[in-house]
């Protein structure tokens, strides 16, 4: 998976920083994710979610915030339900 060099790239001398990533289809419903040094998100959940750090905070806009580490175990269930 390619890395987004604009979201922190220590190897290029750019600091790693917290950056919002708006991902409408990351979780069921819309979400804003704040992550450190996130890679480029792929079009599929099975690649995008596990590529993010477990402690990446997800603010879904429809309930309490969660984290990638809390949600990834539910991934296969979401896919089977058509999300």
Query: Between 1 and 15, whose confidence is greater?
Result: 15
| Tokens coding 4 | 């987004």
> ∠75-20-61 over CA atoms, to 5°?
60
Domain presence at residue 71: yes
Tokens 């979610």 belong to residue: 49
Domain presence at residue 5: no
The answer to whether 18 and 28 have CB atoms below 8 angstroms apart is no
The whole domain housing 68 covers 10-80
Q: What is the pLDDT of residues 18-76, one digit of tens each?
A: 455 555 555 555 444 444 344 433 345 556 666 778 888 877 777 788 888 888 888 77
Sheet holding 18-22, edge to edge: 18-22, 32-36, 57-59, 66-67
Rounded to two decimals, the pTM is: 0.45
Domain presence at residue 3: no
User: What's the domain count of the chain?
Assistant: 1
Domain presence at residue 2: no
What is the predicted pLDDT for the residue at 58? 78
Domain presence at residue 46: yes
Domain presence at residue 4: no
Domain presence at residue 43: yes
Q: How many helices (H) and strands (E) does the chain have?
A: 3, 4
């Amino acid at each position: 998976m390619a890395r987004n060099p604009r979201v922190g790239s220590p190897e290029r001398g750019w600091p790693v920083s917290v950056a919002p990533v708006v991902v409408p289809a990351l979780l069921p419903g819309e979400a804003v994710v704040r992550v450190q040094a996130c890679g480029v998100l792929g079009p599929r959940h099975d690649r995008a979610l596990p590529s993010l750090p477990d402690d990446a905070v997800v603010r879904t806009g429809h309930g309490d915030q969660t984290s990638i580490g809390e949600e990834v175990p539910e991934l296969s269930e979401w896919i089977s339900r058509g999300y």
